[in-house]
Amino acid sequence: MNREYLYYFTSQILSLDLFAGRRSGIIKQFPTTKNQWQRWVQTASNHMVLPACYLVLKRHQLLNHLPGELQESLKYIYELNQQRNLKIEKHARSINQVLKSKGITPLFMKGSANLIDKVYHDSGERMMYDIDILVEDQNMLPAVELLTRLGYKPQKPFILSSYPSTMHYPIMYREGYTAGIEIHRIPVQYLYLKKFSTKGLWESARESKDPSFDGMVMTDDKKMIHNFIHSQLMHSRHYYGNVSLRDLYDILLLSQREDPVKVFRKYGHFQKQSQAYLQLYHRVFDIKMPERLQKYRGSRFFFFRHNLSLRAGKKKLSFFYFLIMFSQKYILLPVRTLWNRDARNYVFSRLTQPGWYGRHIAAYKRMFSRK
C-alpha cells in the first residue's frame, strides 16, 4: 500500500456519509497487516483527518474491521480532540463576548468558524491549531491591546513598520488555554485582497447557525473560496500539487449547503487554479463531475504535480518542493518589490526583523524533515 493508495482509500472513508453504498467496497480495501494499518494511520494523521475517519467508521459500523488495539487508539485520539475542541469552542465564546463588550465585532474564520457554525457532525471531528478572528482594520491593535491586558502574549514580536502588509498579528497565547488567538486585519495576503475583499466579507457576514452562539461567520460560499485561497494559493499547495484531505473534506461538508461548482463559477477569479481544485475534489471523493467541469483541460500539469507528490520518494519530493519555494520566495517575490509597495514592505520589514532569519531557517528544516 503506497501513499497514493492510502490517500484515496482515506478519501473513500471520508465520503461514506454521502455514498453509503461504498461500504462493501471499502471493506475489501482495508489493510490486512499491522504495518499497513500503521501506514494508513500515518497518512490520515498527516492530513489531520484521523478523528473524522474514526467517526465515519463508527457511524457505518466498520470499526470491527480494525484491529482491537487500533480501535482503542483511534477512540482515544478522537476523545482527546473532542475535549480540546470543546475547550476551543468555549474559548471562542469568551473571546467573542470580550471583544464585543468593547465595541469590536469579531468574524470567525476557518476551522473555528466551521466548528461554531455546526458544519461538522461532531465537535471532535476537525483538528485545528488556533482560533482565527477577523476584525476591522482599525480594530486590530485595540483588540491586541485588550487581549494583552487579559494576559495573552504573542508567539513572536510584532514590527509596527510591517503593518501595511500584515495579514494578522502574531498568534497570541494565554496560559491555561488550549488554543492561540490569531487576530486578522485582512482575510488573505495582500496579493489576493482585490479578489477577496475584506469589505465584501463584512457586508455578507452572518450569525452562526448555532443559536446559542451570537458570533459572526462567513457565508458558506465565502468559506469555500477562503479555503481555496488559503490552502491552494497562500500556502502554495496548488504549485506543489500537495492537497490536504482536511481542506477537501471541509469543502465536502460545505457542499451540503452550497454547490462548490456554482460558487466558484460565480466567483470567477483564479479560474485555472480553482477549476483544478474542483476537478481534484470530484476525483478524490469519486463524485460525478459536471460536464462543464469535465471539459476543462487546463489541469493536466496540476494533476501531474499532484501524482508526483503522492508517488515520489522523500528526496525527490523535497528537491521538487525546494525548486518551487526557491522560485517563489527568492525570484518572483524580489522582482515583485520593484513595482508593488506592499511587496516591498513585506520583504524589508521581515529582513530587518530580529530573529526572522532563525525562524526562516527553522521553517525549512521542519518542511524537509517531514516524512
Tell me the pLDDT of the chain averaged across its residues: 90
CB 215 within 8 A of CB 90: no
Give 356 or 117, the one with higher predicted confidence: 117
Asked whether residue 98 carries a pLDDT value surpassing 60, the answer given is yes
Lowest mean pLDDT among 235-249, 292-306, 314-328: 314-328
Instruction: Write the CA distances from 214 to 152, 206, 254, 344, 353, integer angstroms.
Output: 23, 10, 21, 40, 38
Amino acid at 239: Y
Name the nearest CA neighbour of 7 among 319, 213, 253, 306: 306
> Which segments within 191-329 are labelled E, that is strand?
206-207, 216-217
Question: What phi and psi values does residue 132 have, to the nearest 5 degrees?
Answer: -95, 125
For residue 160, what pLDDT is reported? 82
Residue range 312-345, pLDDT digits in tens: 777 777 776 777 776 766 676 666 777 677 766 7
Distance between CA atoms of residues 36 and 30, nearest Å: 9
- pLDDT (average), residues 66-73: 94
- Tell me the pLDDT band of 371, cut-offs 50, 70 and 90: very low
CB 99 within 8 A of CB 146: yes
Distance between CA atoms of residues 34 and 112, nearest Å: 35
Question: What phi and psi values does residue 197 have, to the nearest 5 degrees?
Answer: -80, 150
- Tell me the pLDDT band of 347, cut-offs 50, 70 and 90: low
CB 2 within 8 A of CB 35: no
Q: Say which residues have a Cβ less than 8 Å from residue 225's Cβ, sequence separation at least 6.
A: 196, 263, 264, 267
Residue range 202-229, pLDDT digits in tens: 999 999 999 999 999 999 999 999 999 9
The x, y and z cell numbers of residue 176, run together, are 491555561
Asked whether residue 370 carries a pLDDT value surpassing 80, the answer given is no
Residue range 21-35, pLDDT digits in tens: 999 999 999 998 999
Q: What angle do CA 296, 302, 303 make, to 5 degrees?
A: 85
Residue range 125-175, pLDDT digits in tens: 999 989 999 999 999 999 999 999 999 999 888 888 778 888 999 999 999
For residue 62, what pLDDT is reported? 96
Name the nearest CA neighbour of 92 among 193, 234, 225, 208: 208
Distance between CA atoms of residues 52 and 56, nearest Å: 6
Biggest CA–CA distance in the chain, Å, is 61
The x, y and z cell numbers of residue 134, run together, are 477577523
Domain ranges of the chain: 219-311, 314-371
Asked whether residue 92 carries a pLDDT value surpassing 60, the answer given is yes
> Which segments within the chain are labelled E, that is strand?
107-109, 130-134, 153-154, 172-173, 180-184, 206-207, 216-217
Amino acid at 176: G
| Rama region for 66: left / alpha / beta (φ>0; ψ in -120 to 50; rest) | beta
pTM, full prediction: 0.89
Give 281 or 349, the one with higher predicted confidence: 281
Name the nearest CA neighbour of 228 among 213, 208, 206, 250: 250
Interhelix angle 68-101/50-59, nearest 10 degrees: 120
For residue 158, what pLDDT is reported? 87
Q: In 3-state terms, the chain is what percent helix, strand and coil (to 5)?
A: 65, 5, 30
